[in-house]
Structure 1
Amino acid sequence: MIRLTLVHLTFLGMGKSPAAVEFSSGLTVIYGASDTGKSYVEEAVDYMLGASELKSIPEDAGYTRILLGLRVSDGRSFTLSRAVGGDTIEVFNHDLREMPSEPADETLKFKHNAKSKKNISRYLLTVLGIDGQRILQSGRGNVLPLNFRDLARLAVVNDTRMADQHSPVLGTRNPLNETREKSVFKLLLSGEEEPERPAAPSNLEKQFGKGKIAVIDHLIDESRGKLTLEVNQSQLREQLDRLQAALSEVTSAAVELAEVRTSLLRNRRGLEEIDLAAQQRGDEVQQLLARFALLKEQYESDLARLQMVGEAGTLLGYFQTGTCVFCGAEPHHQHPEHNVAESTQLAASVSAETRKTTDLLNDLLLMIEDLEEQAADIESARAARDEEFTHNAAELRALDQRIQPVNTDATELLNARSRVENELALHAQIEQLEDLKASLSTMAPAPPIARPDGIPAADVADFERMIHETLEAWHVPGSNRVRYDPTTAELSVDGQPRKSRGRGMRSILHAAFAVSLARRNTARDLIHPGFVVLDTPVLTYRRPEDPHEDRPELMTADVAENFYRDLLENPSGQVIVIENLTPPASIRGRATVHAFSVDGSERQGFFPPRERQ
């Protein structure tokens, strides 16, 4: 399949220094301050590809002609030349960089005309080898030739559309163009143009059944519009049988894993109960040890006092003759051996109390020793239980890792079964309506409704996978599970529609959509212009106080770096990125980088400063 590459964009004017920017065949980055002409580059490229208008800015005063150089993948080069505000585009079959001095090889109108080849749309489609490809104009089956502007809207994305809530597929945001835009996207994804269909007679409703048939046709159209799978009822029933068998296997595996997990949780609860009882017993033992330690100190203090009393009796002369130190009797009033009896009774009392206290202390020490052994046993058992807890937790984690894909498979199978059952129900409803319609009229059946959203499911799944891989490569937060609904043309990520996301996330998702489409169609040799122009695709963070941001979303800091790295390492053709923020230093030397009005940059903007004119 032929591709185009943008080579340069050049503005010329009498007495004006040329304003030009070169594009790499791989990645080109244009960045810098606001109001330096970055977005003007994207608008000018789109203008040269057939857009009707290019809004003027003060800096373009005096410039009268625009040149856009292009190179074809077969080696040819040509240049498009258009006057600022002009209705015609001239084609020169070589690389032109200055005001043309020779007649153009072709002179074309900027507006598409299916009946004439003298317009830029038919010319570019012919270069790409896809002129005459048919797309659907309406649900009644009317077809018309492809317009290059339909491709340009998917490849050249300005900053407004980048963050717009409308689907990237619906570039014009006009409901009247929705059928055509869906049909264009179907052509790009599947590579299959719309077949010619016989036109239905305009007076069918009046001739056969009138109002009743019109109502039934409307109901049939509605039912068919809800169909999403390009398969018949027999194939759907086969799918349903296969899904049911697979679901039974997955359910059985899930039940077995759930029983194992329940057993592990039961063991864990048992360990927790034992651990709680052991902890309570350990607390009781520690409290007893604390109390017994105080009692031991008391016994030891009592023994020390008794020893002191025994020693004091000798030191204080309790055993000498004279006035009795116990009763105060004089010697001549004392019985024989009076002091000896008193001293003997004191010594006996001290000795008896000492023995008693010593026995109590020994008993206490035995109890303390026993409690300490219990405490050691409790601690040893606790350490063993910690190992059991760790082992149990590891088994639970391993089991959860096994359960997760099983649960995911079960969910996907249930969703798939639900879709197939819904499709079968719609087919049954359509059959009933067709039977009712046949009973009301014997007219020839009208041609089936055209389906611009009837993209083969395999192509949709392939495109979803490509966007998922792109988002993963850019490190966009989340699981990045991508779903594209051909009926609504809505792109959803992780179950959340793109239109409901914040501005920054809408922009990065639109960029992933455009890059993935180019990457997929280039790899599969399907229709694509060959280049992508993205204006402000990477907004890493929008402050909550930003009045334009209803639901600000925070991205990881490395999204921008991985965005550029992926475009370099996994090229999708030519990509031109226009951004305010400075790209990562890692792309220097590997991509063409133009810096406008930043420190160290060679140019202040797209147009030269006025003092240099």
Structure 2
Amino acid sequence: MENRIVIKRLAMTGPERETREIGFVPGLNVIWGASNAGKSFIIKSLDYMFGSGSLLPEIKQREGMEACWLELELPQSGATTLRRSLAGGGISIFDKPLEDVGTSESERVVSSSHSATTPSLSGMLLEELGVSRKQIANNTDGKKSAFTFRHFAHYMFTEETPMMAEWSPIQISAQSGPTFDKNVFKFLLTGVDDSLLVVAKSTKEQQTENVGKIEIVEEMISVALDELARMFPEDKLENLDLDDQEQRISGTISSWQSTLSLRQSRLDALVASRRSNRDLLAEFDARAEHIDLTLSRFGLLGSVYNSDLERLEGLGEGAEALLAGAQRSCPLCGADPDHQRHNHGYEAVELSQKAVSAEMAKIRAEKTDLTRAVRSLSMEREGVNARRQAISEELQALDLSIATARPSEAQARTEYERLDRERQRIRNGLSLKRRIEALEKRRAELATFKPRRQAKDAVTAGISGTAGHEFAMKVQSILRAWQFPGEPVVAFDGRTHDILLNGSDRRSNGKGVRALMNAAFKIGVLEFCRERRLPHPGIIALDSPLLSYRDPHKSRHGELSEDEVAVKNANLNTYFYGDLAERAKHVQFIIVENDPPPEDLPSGSRVTRFTGPFADDGRKGFL
């Protein structure tokens, strides 16, 4: 984005009034129409919203309005809306377009007056343009004031009376003084301020400055003595030997530091041992828990073995019974076993009995192994319990030792810290005494000061002749682009820092020609800055620059002078608007006139007509 500010919208609101607003495009804006429609009030309102200290005039149309709003597009922050009471005061900042503000509270409130220490509109806008902490010399003695945004505003907004005035366009106010005005002009055209300006002082100024230095040093000594008395209320300052006190207390602190170190080391060793034993006890607890769980599972396994043996013994007894019955006579026919035809599976019973016997032998062997494992784990459990008991007893002893050592260490630490604080107090006192001694020495040196007469350095205000000539050529090119009659020749007057038109100063021309000279001057400043990449807000608002086209029978400015008639007959107004439209690619123009502009303005321009308070149609005025 270009390093310039763009005005988007101006509005006024009141609790019982309909909101009134007017929009602007970034390029050429023309507001024309009947008198008493509020055209000039728009220029005043814009200047007011950029921090002017003058309240807006109490015209009838603004009755019921209480606040003025201005929407801007800033080069760094983007869409920003300002709100200011018509009664004056500070400015509320909203970091959003006007239509998005609604009833929301402002993000911040800044002062309308420039300040180097508190937030202000001037500081905010200067920062947006990359301008900060610039100094302007007020006079040839080297006294300086801060450059503020209001100095930019003087070259942005030109009302009707200053537009045709006989004084130079660089005059910021009646109180500013020619040296200051020239140096502001110099900063705009060169980017060089007066921060580094140094001027030799007279003997009287040197004496006054030295007296002021002595007063400051004496005040600093008095403050330091009061502070020293508060630090050592029990001692008389003239008998206060802080060096000896610092030496003695440092020796005591060294002794206590050794004691504290020993006690801290012993306490740290006890705490470390307790931590190690606690970790070991936790390991034994975990082992004991694991053993108990394993024994519990082995018990269940032993129960399973017993159950299996009982079941197998039953099977064995059944097999024996079957085999015993096989040796008896048949209960049905009485036949002997040798004469029985069927053996009823006795061989299978015998095999089964053998398998049962083998399985029982296997289970008994496993049960024996289980018994040995249970015995081994039970013995390990007893050992773990014994070790846990020993560690627990050791931990109790360590807790008792720590409980005994901790107060001793705390007592040593408390005493060490008390002594250290006292030593720091003494050292602070020593530092303060040395500062007092240095101040007293400085006071003695100042008391012997004798001013020296020095040659007065010459300080040149304003711009050089070369820069002035280049600026005059820029203004001349603008007037020629407007087809000013007679191939105008513009020169720079180094004494007044104004331009001469065809060898004549501003006063020698009619009101309408002075208005054109002023307009070309202000536009020339902007173009000069743009070509040299110097900061400028990029806004030119002019009230009645084409005064030469007034109707002498209706205008309060009376008959046209001879040079004004020549301008009017040259069709300059057509070329004027055409040139502004061409320059408006990088500049925002706001032109207020009574007569309409040409109809063939570029499509990006905005023309607003006010028909006047007595009209039956159209927009009657701003408010």
* Shift in CA distance, 542/30, structure 1 to aligned 2, threshold 3 Å: closer
- Equivalent position amino acid for 1:105 in 2: E
Larger CA deviation: 539-548 vs 1-10: 539-548
Aligned to 2:595: 581
Alignment TM-score, normalising by the size of structure 1: 0.57
Q: Distance in 1 between matches of 2:577 and 2:481?
A: 10
Matched, 1:530 2:561: no
Matched, 1:569 2:619: no
Larger CA deviation: 545-554 vs 190-199: 545-554
1:541 Cα deviation after fit: 4.2
Maintained 8 Å contact 1:156/1:532: yes
Aligned to 2:607: 593
Instruction: Report the RMSD for the aligned CA atoms in angstroms.
Output: 2.5
1:193 Cα deviation after fit: 1.3
Q: Secondary structure at the match of 2:91?
A: strand
Aligned to 1:465: 473
Aligned to 2:63: 61
For structure 2, which runs of at least 5 residues remain unmatched after alignment?
A: 208-450
After superposition, residues 126-145 of structure 1 pair within 5 angstroms as: 126-145=127-146
Q: Distance in 2 between matches of 1:119 and 1:509?
A: 33
* Shift in CA distance, 49/75, structure 1 to aligned 2, threshold 3 Å: closer
Aligned to 2:183: 183
Q: Distance in 2 between matches of 1:469 and 1:600?
A: 43
Q: Distance in 2 between matches of 1:30 and 1:97?
A: 23
- Equivalent position amino acid for 1:193 in 2: D
* Shift in CA distance, 33/589, structure 1 to aligned 2, threshold 3 Å: same
Maintained 8 Å contact 2:483/2:570: no
Q: Secondary structure at the match of 2:607?
A: strand
- Equivalent position amino acid for 1:450 in 2: V
Q: Secondary structure at the match of 1:28?
A: strand
Larger CA deviation: 23-32 vs 73-82: 73-82
Q: Distance in 1 between matches of 2:113 and 2:558?
A: 35
* Shift in CA distance, 128/65, structure 1 to aligned 2, threshold 3 Å: same
* Shift in CA distance, 107/47, structure 1 to aligned 2, threshold 3 Å: same
Matched, 1:86 2:102: no
Aligned to 2:166: 165
Deviations 1:323-363 (A, max 9, x none): xxxxxxxxxxxxxxxxxxxxxxxxxxxxxxxxxxxxxxxxx
Maintained 8 Å contact 1:170/1:489: no
* Shift in CA distance, 565/69, structure 1 to aligned 2, threshold 3 Å: same
* Shift in CA distance, 447/70, structure 1 to aligned 2, threshold 3 Å: farther
1:488 Cα deviation after fit: 1.2
* Shift in CA distance, 179/97, structure 1 to aligned 2, threshold 3 Å: farther
Q: Distance in 1 between matches of 2:201 and 2:524?
A: 42
* Shift in CA distance, 99/538, structure 1 to aligned 2, threshold 3 Å: same
After superposition, residues 310-321 of structure 1 pair within 5 angstroms as: none
Maintained 8 Å contact 1:540/1:559: no
Report percent identity of matched pairs: 29
Deviations 1:199-228 (A, max 9, x none): 533425999xxxxxxxxxxxxxxxxxxxxx
Matched, 1:449 2:458: yes
Deviations 1:262-283 (A, max 9, x none): xxxxxxxxxxxxxxxxxxxxxx
Aligned to 2:501: 493
Q: Secondary structure at the match of 1:18?
A: strand
1:108 Cα deviation after fit: 1.3
After superposition, residues 247-396 of structure 1 pair within 5 angstroms as: none
* Shift in CA distance, 147/177, structure 1 to aligned 2, threshold 3 Å: farther
Q: Distance in 2 between matches of 1:491 and 1:549?
A: 25
Maintained 8 Å contact 1:151/1:528: yes
1:97 Cα deviation after fit: 3.6
Maintained 8 Å contact 1:111/1:121: yes
Matched, 1:518 2:526: yes
Aligned to 2:11: 10
Matched, 1:477 2:459: no
- Equivalent position amino acid for 2:596 in 1: T
Kindly name which structure, 1 or 2, has the bigger radius of gyration based on alpha carbons: 2
1:502 Cα deviation after fit: 0.3
Aligned to 2:34: 33
Maintained 8 Å contact 2:472/2:499: no
Q: Distance in 2 between matches of 1:449 and 1:10?
A: 50
* Shift in CA distance, 177/97, structure 1 to aligned 2, threshold 3 Å: farther
2:548 to 540, 545, 556: 540
Deviations 1:37-63 (A, max 9, x none): 100000000000111211121111111
Maintained 8 Å contact 2:134/2:195: no
* Shift in CA distance, 135/95, structure 1 to aligned 2, threshold 3 Å: same
1:551 Cα deviation after fit: 4.0
Q: Distance in 1 between matches of 2:616 and 2:194?
A: 53
Maintained 8 Å contact 2:8/2:25: yes
1:444 Cα deviation after fit: 5.9
Aligned to 1:262: none
Maintained 8 Å contact 1:504/1:538: yes
- Equivalent position amino acid for 2:164 in 1: A
Maintained 8 Å contact 1:141/1:449: no
Aligned to 2:283: none
Q: Secondary structure at the match of 2:461?
A: coil
Q: Distance in 1 between matches of 2:197 and 2:45?
A: 39
Q: Distance in 1 between matches of 2:40 and 2:178?
A: 27
Matched, 1:560 2:562: no
Aligned to 2:227: none
- Equivalent position amino acid for 1:470 in 2: I
Aligned to 2:398: none
* Shift in CA distance, 600/55, structure 1 to aligned 2, threshold 3 Å: closer
1:569 Cα deviation after fit: 1.6
Q: Secondary structure at the match of 2:81?
A: strand
Maintained 8 Å contact 1:502/1:551: yes
Maintained 8 Å contact 2:171/2:178: yes
Q: Secondary structure at the match of 2:16?
A: coil
Q: Secondary structure at the match of 1:184?
A: helix
1:196 Cα deviation after fit: 2.2
Q: Distance in 1 between matches of 2:500 and 2:24?
A: 33
Maintained 8 Å contact 1:36/1:596: yes
Q: Secondary structure at the match of 2:29?
A: strand
1:198 Cα deviation after fit: 3.3
1:501 Cα deviation after fit: 0.6
1:173 Cα deviation after fit: 3.2
- Equivalent position amino acid for 1:564 in 2: Y
Q: Distance in 2 between matches of 1:92 and 1:500?
A: 48
Aligned to 1:430: none
Aligned to 1:124: 125
Deviations 1:277-325 (A, max 9, x none): xxxxxxxxxxxxxxxxxxxxxxxxxxxxxxxxxxxxxxxxxxxxxxxxx
* Shift in CA distance, 479/76, structure 1 to aligned 2, threshold 3 Å: same
Aligned to 2:620: 604
Q: Secondary structure at the match of 1:512?
A: helix
